[in-house]
Each structure stands twice: as structure tokens, then as C-alpha cells.
Amino acid sequence: METVGIEDAGRLAHVVSGTVDAERLTLFSTMKNEMGFLPAWLDHHRAIGFEQFLIWDDASDDGSFDYLCAQPDVVVMHSDLSFGDLLRYRDPDGAVREERAGTYFKIALPHLFFDGAFVGYVDADEFLILPPGVTSIREVVDRLRTEGAPSAVASVVEFFPASANGLKGELPQNFDALIKAYPYFQCEPLVALRPGAQPELLGKSKTARLFKRYGVEPQVVRRGWQRVWMSSRAKKAQQFQKSPRHKTPLVLRDAQSRLTGSHYGNLAPSSEVLLTVAHFVFTAQFADKIDRATAWGAHANAAAKYRYYAQLLERMQDVEDGFLDESSVSYEGPEQLLRCGLMRW
């Protein structure tokens, strides 16, 4: 297995469409076959002030690659590696760990182009929500620079319909329509900011609550030689994978500051700014996403979580208001996120 550092990203991936403008406020993402979300995702993040999109496309074949290449504000990169390919990653501090190529590119690719700039990071089914009265992500960047903070974290809030029947039909094509179709979220804090330290995670994700409510329990599946012997690591890999309660969607990229994985920066984030990322897991694409993730096996631990999602969806069929509990509320606006402790400004 090859050992790579951030400096190797330029030989492992290359630009296939567009030209990076290092002066533009840029949102980075890794994607594969996300045509369903792409128009809404791009339009929303343009509307909140991102000026350029840097996308590592993992060999999409659903039309999203051509769609991305046709956008004048999108730069597309490719690699011979796929998201789930394993690398031995050596971080700038010298620590070495095994990392999936997709996560490595998330850490490393923006470093090829941006020095001293804040870069955004969200996935295709995630939509960044700004605080009340804030009209542009540039205002957030300016506040972080004034504060001297290297990053801002966000609560990752899962949105959902009232019942599994709400997952039928077509996927909405803009952010407002997504909120209308999947309006509910849990009004409970997920992140506690701490001065000079990484955030403290609170409570449980909606996914974890649903697994418990519907009795979806980890099951060890043995294939091939694992029927004879299976390592403890392989068994652990098939336990529940926690859904994210937070991530770091805005990070300063320089010699000292960087993203370290899917959810953390290497330095303590702002203790005054907490954004919100709306995560649309439970949508009209839910069943299809389960099938795709399981087939690819590129997600964490061969997509074990999606096997459990399939069980959950089966058990929720025909349960009236099956997604809702005493803390579920319908979204009205970002002021509500402040009141629920899911945002701070």
C-alpha cells in the first residue's frame, strides 16, 4: 500500500474541466452519481455566496460529470483511484494512518490551489444554512478572520418526512422544495463549542434514534474465508457506524491549518460561530442510495451502515408518522435553529 502525503495529491488527481481561480471563495466536494441533488446543491451554495466549486468526481456515469463540466464556476478533477481505495496517509505532523482515497482527496486537493484562504466542505446531500441576518458566507469568513479562528464547525441536522410514505415520488430540485418535502428535524443540540478545544458532541443523531426505536441491531455477516475465522477488526467494522452530528464546513487552508478527515480540522475551531448543515438522508433517493452504497462498498466499512438502513426502511413501512417523536419539529427558519441550540452566531 502506497504511503502518501498532502504533497502527493497533484500526481494522484488532475483537473479535467475548468481552471481554478485561487481568489474565489470555493466549496470543495467529492461526488459520485449525484445528479439528483446537483442542480439544487449548486444553486443553493451560489445563493449564499460561494463563487467557485472544486469537485473530485469519482467516475460518475449518471450524467453528473457532463453537467458539472458544463458549469462555468465548477472545476472538475479525476483520479485513477476510487473513493474506497485504501492509502497509507502520512499527515504533515508525521503520523501515518490508513485512509480511503476519497477522504484523502478531501484533505489534500484544496491544498494544491489555495494558500491562506478559507475553503468550504460539504457533501452533495448537505446544504449549509447561514445564521439569521447573514446573507453571504463571506460574512462568516470575515468574522472568523477577525476572531483569528481557523475554522467553523456546524451541527449536522438530518431532515425527514413524517413517515416512510413521504419518501416516495421525485426528488425536489431546489432547497426550498427539499425543506417542504422533508420538513422535520430534531430540536435538540448536537454540538457544544469549547474555547480553545474541539467541540463536545451531544445527544444522538436521528439515524441512531431510529435504529434504536425500530430494533435494528448490528449483525456480523461472514463471507468466504471469514466463515472459518474473522478478526475482531472485521467484526467491529460491521457494528453501527455513527451518523455525523457535526462537521467542519469552513476551514482556513495554510501551513498550520487543515482538514484532518471528514469532520475535524486540526486546530480548535471558533467557539463563537456554530453553523448548521442540513443533511438530506431520508429522501426519495433513500432506497436507491442504499442500493448504490452497498454495491460500491466505498463508504466506511464496506457500507455496513447502509445495510442497516435497508432494514430500517423495511420496518418503517406503513407506520403512521413513523419518523416523528416528541422532539421532532417542522422547520421554519434559521432563528429556530438558534433556539434549538443547533446554531450560534
Q: Give the closest residue to 78 by CA, choosing from 121, 17, 21, 6.
A: 17
DSSP label of 168: -
59 falls within a domain = yes
337 falls within a domain = no
Owning domain of residue 36: 1-114
Q: If 0-12 CB within 10 Å is exposed, 13-18 middle and 19+ buried, where does residue 67 land?
A: middle
DSSP label of 16: E
d(CA 115, CA 110): 9
Q: What are 282's three cell numbers?
A: 431520508
Query: What pLDDT score was predicted for residue 232?
Result: 58
Question: How many C-beta atoms surround the C-beta of residue 90 within 10 A?
Answer: 17
- The pLDDT tens digits of the residues spanning 275-294 come to 999 999 999 988 777 776 66
d(CA 25, CA 186): 31
Pseudo-torsion of CA 54, 58, 60, 66, nearest 10°? 30
- The pLDDT tens digits of the residues spanning 50-81 come to 999 999 999 999 999 999 999 999 999 999 99
45 falls within a domain = yes
* CB-CB contact of 110 with 151 (8 Å): no
- The pLDDT tens digits of the residues spanning 152-169 come to 999 999 999 999 999 999
279 falls within a domain = no
147 falls within a domain = no
103 falls within a domain = yes
- The pLDDT tens digits of the residues spanning 228-237 come to 565 655 555 5
Residue 113 host element (H or E)? none
12 falls within a domain = yes
d(CA 160, CA 167): 9
Q: How far is CA 312 from CA 19, 208, 298, 309, in A?
A: 43, 11, 21, 5
pTM of the model: 0.90
Total domains in the fold of the chain: 1
